[in-house]
Chains A and B, each alone.
Chain A
Amino acid sequence: MASILAVDDSASMRQMVSFTLKGAGFDVKEACDGVEALAEAKRGKFDLVLSDVNMPNMNGIEFCKELRQLPDYKFTPVLMLTTESAGDMKMQGKQAGATGWIVKPFNPEQLLSTIKRVLG
C-alpha cells in the first residue's frame, strides 16, 4: 500500500490525518515540522507527502523546496494543507514545487478523495 508522510505541528491534526489514512489502508509516518519531515523523507520513501504550511523550525514551503532537491522526491506528489485565508500561500507553495493543496478545514472524506487524485 502507498506510504504517506504527514507533516503538521498540530498533534490533533496529525492524529486526525494519520488516523484517517491508516483507516483507509495507507502506511503513514508523522513528522511535526519541516526539519523532522526532511529527515524522515531521507530515511524512507514515501509515495505522497502532506504538509502543513505554518510550522516552527522549518515551514511547509521551505520543506517543500528542500524536498524537491532530493532525488527520490523529484516527482512525488506533495500536498500542502492550507487555509483559505492564505491565498498567496498557494502560489508560494506551487513555486516551492508543491503539487497541490487541501484547504483547511477539511474532513476525513475530503482528505481521502483528494489524495486519491494523486496516488496510483
Chain B
Amino acid sequence: MSIDLSQFHQVFFEESFEGLDVMESELLELSPDSVDDETVNTIFRAAHSIKGGAGTFGFMQISEFTHEVETLLDEIRAGQRALEQLHVDLFLQSVDCLRAMMTALNEGSEPETARADELKLQLKAILHGEAEAAEGDSNDASEATTGGSERAGWKVRFIPDADVLRTGNEPFRMFRELEGVAPNGIKVMVNESELPEFANLNPEECRLSWTITVMGDIEQSDIQTVFEWVEDDCDIDYIALDADGQALESGAEAKADAAEASAEAAVAPEPVAAPAAVAEPANSEAAQSESVKVEPAKPAAAKAEPAKAKAKPNRGGDQSSIRVSIDKVDSLINMVGELVITQSMLGQLGQDFDISRMGRLLEGLSQLEQNTRELQESVMKIRMMPISFAFSRFPRLVRDLGNQLGKKVNLVMQGENTELDKTVMEKIGDPLVHLVRNSLDHGLETTAKRIETGKDESGTITLNAFHQGGNIVIEVKDDGAGLNEERILNKAIERGLVAANANLTPEEIHQLIFLPGFSTADQVSDISGRGVGMDVVRRNINELNGTIEVKSQKGTGSTFVIRLPLTLAILDGQLVEVCNQTYIFPLVSIVESIQLQKQTLNNISGSQPVMKLRDEYIPIIRLDQVFNLRPLEEEVEEAMLVVVEGDNEKIGIVVDDLLGQQQVVIKSLEQNYQRVSGVSGATILGDGTVALIIDISGIGKKVDGRAAAIPGSEQAA
C-alpha cells in the first residue's frame, strides 16, 4: 500500500507555522529569572511536533535542525540545564530560520541551509559534552552472534511478567507474529506449572510461560522485534538450534531445554487465548473494585490552549484560505434555514394572493428583510478575524528593536479580540509596523534621557484596537517626548514644504509629518530610515478608505489614531446625482456639503477654478465634466458642492443633487470591466441600476492640470 504523503504537506506547513508562532510568542514570555514550566513545555511541544511531522513527511533538514532545538529545550524542561538569555535568543533565531526554511519548502523551492547549519553548530556547542543517553538504546549489544550457516532455528523461552496482559500485550498475538516471520513455522509449548489452584486463579494475571521453537534460519533480531515491547519486563532466552534441534552453543541449560523440546508436541498457539477469554467476563467485576480511580479528565487540564485554538493567517503563498470557527458556520446555516422558511411562506402567499392578505405580505417582507440583514452580517463575519493576528508580530519586533536601540520598552496590547476584515488586516500590517518602529525609534527617548527627565526608565508603547461606530480604530501610542514641533517646522521649511513665514498651529505642524519626503531623524537610522515615510503610511491607509491622525503632547508622548472601515466589501456611501446618473461618495471622505454659490468661485491659477471656503481656497471639480455628461457651456442651476478630503487635500465636487446615504456592496470594476481612473468600484442599487463609486484621491489627480472651468466663474474673479 503506498500513500502519497504530499497530500498532508499543506496541513503540516500550516500547523508548523502556527507552532512557530506559538514558540515565538511563548519565548518572548520567557526570561531566565522566572522560568515558567508550562511555557517551556508549550515551546517544547511545538518544536517536538514540528520535528515529528517533518521527519514523517520527509523534510529531513527541518527535522534534523529541530532535533537540536528540541534537545536543548528538553534539557531545560527536565531541569538539567538552567535557562540563559543566550538560549532564548538562539531559540528565537532558530524560529526565524525554521520559518524561512519552511516558507521555501512550502513554495516548492529548496531551503537555504547555511543559517540552519550555523545555528545548529551553536546549539551543539551548548549541548556539547552532555551525554545523550536517551539515544542509541534501541538495540542491545548483547545480541548473540552465532554461526550463520548451520543455524536451523531458535528456541525461545518466554516467561512473561504476570502483569503482561494489563499492558494490552497478548502472548497469542506475539506467537502469531512470530509465525509470520519464521520461515518454517513455529512450535509453541505451554508450561503451566506456575498456574495456581483454580480457586486462587486471577484471570487478569498471566501465570503461563512458553517455549517456542522457531523453525528456519532467521536473525535473532527478527525474533527480538516481536518481543520488543515486553522484553524489559519478561524473561526471554534465545537459543540458536542446529538442524537436529540441538543448541548450537551448548550449556547445561541448553541441554535441559533440548530434552524438553523433544518431548514437545506441535501445538498451535490456541491455548494462550484461554486466559484472555477468561479475563473478559471478569473485567466488569474487577473494574468495580477499581472504579474509585476512574475519574474524569482533570479540570485543570481542561483549559484549552488559546494559541492552539485560534485560527491563523494563511501564509501559504497564493492559495489564500481562512479558517472559520464552526460557530460562525453554524449560525450561517441557521440563518439560511430561516430564509428558506420565509421564502416558502412568501411563496405560499403568492400562490393565491388577495389584497386582504396585504398585512401578511408586509409582515413576510419585513421578515425577509431581517433575514437578509442577519445573513449579510453573518457572511461578513466570516471574513472577520481578531486583530491579534496583526498584533502578534509586535512583541518580537519591539523586543528586537529595543535591544538594537538600547531602549527598554514595554509593549501593551489592548483590544486584541477586536475583529477586522481579513483583507484590511493584511493591508494594515505594514503601516502598523512602520508606526511602531517609528514610535520606538523617534518617539521614545533613550533610557538615559528618560531618567534625566524623571520618567520611568522603560518606555511604553501601547497598541489599542476598538470598534467605534462602523469603524475600527487602532491606536499606536508612546509615552515618549512627543513630536518636536520646532524641528518638524524647520525641516518642512528647509524642504520647501511650507513657506518660511508660515504661522502654523501645533496641530498643523503635526500634520506635516505626513507630507511626502519627510523624515525627522537627524540621521537616517537603521530602524526607520527605510525610504518609507509617513506619507506612505497615510496613503496605504487612505487606500483602505481609512484615515490617520496624530495627537502629540510635548513631553508625554504621541498617539497615532488609525480609523478603518470594518470591511472593504461594504461601504457607507453618500448617493449623489449628476445628469440623472447616480454616483456614490464614500461617506468617510465627505467633509461637508454646501449650496454652490457662484460668486465665491475664483479662477486664480489660470483654468483651475477654486473657491474660497472660509479661510482656505479649495479646487473645484465638476463631476459632469469629469465624466463628459454635459456640454461645458451648459449652466448648472441649483448645484450642490460636496467638499471631500482625499490625500490630505480638500476638493469641492460639483453635483446636481444629494440623494440618500446607504450602505453599498462594492463590486470590483477591474474584475467585471476594467480599471477606470477616478472610480474605485461600482455597486448595484435597489432598482437594479449600476452606480459608480468615486475614488476621491483618484479623481483629484485625474483633473489635475486639466481645465474644468465653471461657467460664470470668470466674472466673479
Contact = CB atoms under 8 A, between A and B. Distances in A.
Given A68-B166, A117-B177, A85 B302 contact: no
A2 B485 CA distance: 76
B134 A88 contact: yes
Interface string B102-113: 000000000000
A19 B168 CA distance: 24
Contacts of A52: 52
Contact of B297 (A13, A39, A84): A39
Interface string A23-57: 11000000000110011000000000000101111
Contacts of A84: 135, 138
B67 A85 contact: yes
Interface string A13-27: 101100110011000
A78 B168 contact: yes
B216 interface: no
Given A39-B297, A74-B283, A105 B55 contact: yes
A77 B53 contact: no
A112 B1 contact: yes
B141 interface: no
Contacts of B133: 87
Contacts of B290: 69
Nearest to A9: B49
Interface stretch (B3-11, B367-375, B546-554, B632-640): B3-11
A91 B231 CA distance: 11
A105 B294 contact: no
A103 B135 CA distance: 12
Interface string B323-336: 00000000000000
Contacts of B42: 56
A120 B304 CA distance: 36
Contacts, number: 168
B207 interface: no
B168 A13 contact: no
Nearest to A117: B177
B396 interface: no
Contacts of A58: 297-298, 301
Contact of A75 (B8, B44, B168, B226): B168
Interface in A94-112: 94, 97-101, 103-109, 112
Given A68-B166, A69-B293, A35 B3 contact: no
Interface in B121-170: 132-135, 137-138, 165-170
A104 B52 contact: yes
B44 A54 contact: yes
The contact size tier of chain B is: 35 or more
Which of A35, A38, A52 has the most chain B CB within a 10 Å cutoff?
A: A35
B12 interface: yes
Contact of B304 (A10, A57, A86): A57
Interface string B291-310: 10111111001111100100
A84 B535 CA distance: 55
Interface residues of A, number: 58
Contact of A97 (B63, B167, B297): B167
A38 B364 CA distance: 48
Interface in B214-255: 226, 228-229, 232-233
Contact of A100 (B49, B135, B228, B295): B228
Contacts of A72: 283
Contacts of A55: 45
B302 A69 contact: no
Interface residue SS majority, chain B: helix
Contacts of B48: 54, 83
A15 B8 contact: yes
B56 interface: yes
Contacts of B283: 71-72, 74-75
Given A69-B290, A83-B52, A100 B169 contact: yes
A85 B134 CA distance: 6
A11 B7 CA distance: 13
A56 B169 contact: no
A104 B15 contact: no
Interface string B42-76: 10110011011111110000010001001100100
Contacts of B515: none
B169 A99 contact: yes
Given A35-B301, A77-B168, A84-B138, A13 B294 contact: no
Contact of B3 (A20, A74, A91): A20
A87 B1 contact: no
B168 A76 contact: yes
B1 A101 contact: no
B134 to A, nearest CB: 4
B56 A105 contact: yes
A76 B546 CA distance: 61
A1 B662 CA distance: 60
A16 B167 contact: no
Given A10-B15, A23-B3, A74-B283, A56 B45 contact: yes
B702 interface: no
A18 to B, nearest CB: 10
B203 to A, nearest CB: 11
Contacts of B71: 85
Contacts of A103: 138
B177 to A, nearest CB: 5
A28 to B, nearest CB: 14
Contact of B166 (A70, A75, A86): A75
A88 B291 CA distance: 29
A34 B297 contact: yes
A19 B134 CA distance: 31
Contacts of A101: 229
Contact of B15 (A11, A109, A118): A11
Contacts of B15: 10-12
Contacts of B303: 57
Contacts of B295: 66, 69
Given A105-B63, A107-B5, A117-B174, 4 more contacts: A87-B133, A97-B168, A104-B56, A109-B2
Interface of A: 9-13, 15-16, 19-20, 23-24, 34-35, 38-39, 52, 54-58, 62, 66, 68-72, 74-78, 81, 83-88, 91, 94, 97-101, 103-109, 112, 117-118, 120
28 contacts: A10-B52, A11-B15, A12-B53, A12-B57, A15-B11, A16-B8, A23-B3, A35-B301, A35-B302, A54-B49, A57-B304, A69-B290, A75-B283, A83-B52, A85-B132, A86-B134, A87-B134, A94-B167, A94-B229, A97-B168, A100-B228, A104-B56, A105-B54, A105-B55, A106-B56, A108-B2, A109-B2, A118-B170
6 nearest CB pairs, A to B: A71-B287, A105-B55, A100-B229, A99-B168, A12-B12, A87-B134
